[in-house]
Amino acid sequence: MDAVELITTKRDGGRLSDAQIRWLMQGYVAGTIPDEQVSALLMAIVWRGLHPDELATWTAEMIASGERLDLSSIDRPTVDKHSTGGVGDKVSLVLTPLIAAAGAAMPQLSGRGLGHTGGTLDKMESIPGWRATLSPQEFLQTLRDVGGVICAAGPSLAPADRKLYSLRDVTGTVESIPLISASIMSKKIAEGTESLVLDVKVGSGAFMKNVDDARLLAETMVGLGNAHGVRTTAFLTDMDTPLGNCAGNALEVTESVAVLSGGGPSDLVEITVELAREMLRLAGLDADPGALLASGAVLPTWRKIVAAQGGNPDAELPEASERVVVPASRSGYLTRLDAYRLGVAAWRLGAGRARKEDPVSASAGIVWHARPGDQVTEGQPLLELHVDDPGRVARAQEALVGAVEIADEPVERRPLIIERIS
């Protein structure tokens, strides 16, 4: 076969055959098809899309490029969650021990933050001693013993996706619903879980800015999951406003522990319980995740998960050396707290990274002391910037311009849970 033929076929709006897609994936992983030709094909896909049959084969070949984990030795039903990313989204930290405490097993293979969105592994690594990398044997043993694990995906899981994602990141070909769907679902299907719930974020702080695009992404991923034998449901959830009361690695761990202790922000509790309820339904378990979380009974499971991966659940978390308060500019009602701008500000304070190899600060981040709908008074602390390097504050403050709106009257917000798709 000829890579140029594949490129021109897709460029002109044609369909790739199963054999062509198989040849492409195998050749790219093996290194016999160069980046420049795959880049051209990816750009053609961005413009022309993939037919459902093409997408099914594309995803299947990404899965087949590596191993598919075997979770049959786990004596609990297995179910996982994936979020498309947002600001202040620490749901995985709460959800994993909650699902484990309710009787299922949750193999949460997670990633790192990039740009304005935080990464679950970066948050967990703010816990002294905790490690993200586990051997396959450690992964399975922790899942058997505790019922939940949060770790990095091994190199044998969908290696085609790892190569394609890196290429898309530097060639302007990230924004494609078929390519996004295949990337997410190839890893989740290869993970071997029986059921999956997707949290597709919508709004300023999300990858998908409008509901129609988010719905199409969710429907595409649900279709791929079910076609590969993974019971899959998706929720569209709001990300115009950041989740919880903070963004930043250690800050979000602290907030997660508060929720696991029976408290914490109401929006974080709401979305976690809704996702957990659906996950337990798919797993065939009859449990009340809201009551379980509110009782504080999930906290011991969290401690076991942390300890099983080398972390000290009693250790003090890093704290920033400096805090800068941003006061309310006037009295009134907070009507907007822009998730994207707050995420960029947290990133600039050191909580995020511009490139995958960049280090992150465990202690940097932002705390907000009011949410849309709250009444505020001029001069009261509204935002609190946590930073170790004072030289970062000015650029973070630049990112916050326009992030906050205060009006004379409150405005109605759209619901946190927008839609369920199955």
For 399, phi then psi, to 5°, come to -65, -25
**Candidate list 80, 89, 122, 161, residue with the active-site label:** 161
Asked whether the domain spanning 322-407 has the same topology as the one spanning 3-49, the reply is no
How far, in whole angstroms, is CA 404 from its chain's centroid?
24
At 301, which amino acid appears? T
- Each residue's pLDDT tens digit, 147-171: 999 999 888 899 999 999 889 988 9
- Are the C-beta atoms of 145 and 105 separated by less than 8 Å? no
Q: Which fold has domain 3-49?
A: 1.20.970
- Are the C-beta atoms of 78 and 149 separated by less than 8 Å? no
- Each residue's pLDDT tens digit, 241-289: 999 999 999 999 999 999 999 999 999 999 999 999 999 999 999 999 9
CATH of region 79-308: 3.40.1030.10
- Each residue's pLDDT tens digit, 60-91: 999 999 999 999 999 999 999 999 999 999 99
Q: What is the DSSP letter of 115?
A: T
Looking at the chain, the number of H-run helices and the number of E-run strands are 16, 13
State yes or no: pLDDT of 44 exceeds 90.
yes
Residue 42: which H helix or E strand, with range? Answer: helix 35-48
In which band, very low, low, confident or very high, does the pLDDT at 115 lie, cut at 50, 70 and 90? confident
**Candidate list 183, 195, 204, 363, residue with the active-site label:** 183
- pTM strictly above 0.85: yes
Which architecture, in CATH terms, is 322-407? Alpha-Beta Complex (3.90)
Pair of tokens at residue 352? 């995020």
- Are the C-beta atoms of 81 and 92 separated by less than 8 Å? yes
**What's the distance, Cα to Cα, between the start and end of the chain in Å?**
38
> 273: which residues sit within 8 A by CB, 6+ positions away?
289, 290, 293
pLDDT at residue 408 in the model: 96
CA distance 15 to 32: 22
348 catalytic? Reply is no
CA distance 92 to 79: 13
How far, in whole angstroms, is CA 114 from its chain's centroid?
11
**Candidate list 90, 168, 303, 392, residue with the active-site label:** 168
90 catalytic? Reply is no
161 catalytic? Reply is yes
* Spans of all domains in the chain: 3-49, 79-308, 322-407
Instruction: Tell me whether strands 381-387 and 365-368 are parallel, antiparallel or unpaired.
Output: antiparallel
187 catalytic? Reply is yes
Whole-Å CA distances, 400 to 155, 325, 326, 342, 363: 38, 13, 10, 6, 19
State yes or no: pLDDT of 413 exceeds 90.
no
Written as one string, the DSSP assignment of 179-227 is HHHHHHHHHHHHTT-SEEEEEEEESTTSSB-SHHHHHHHHHHHHHHHHH
**Candidate list 82, 163, 303, 341, residue with the active-site label:** 82
**Candidate list 187, 201, 231, 341, residue with the active-site label:** 187
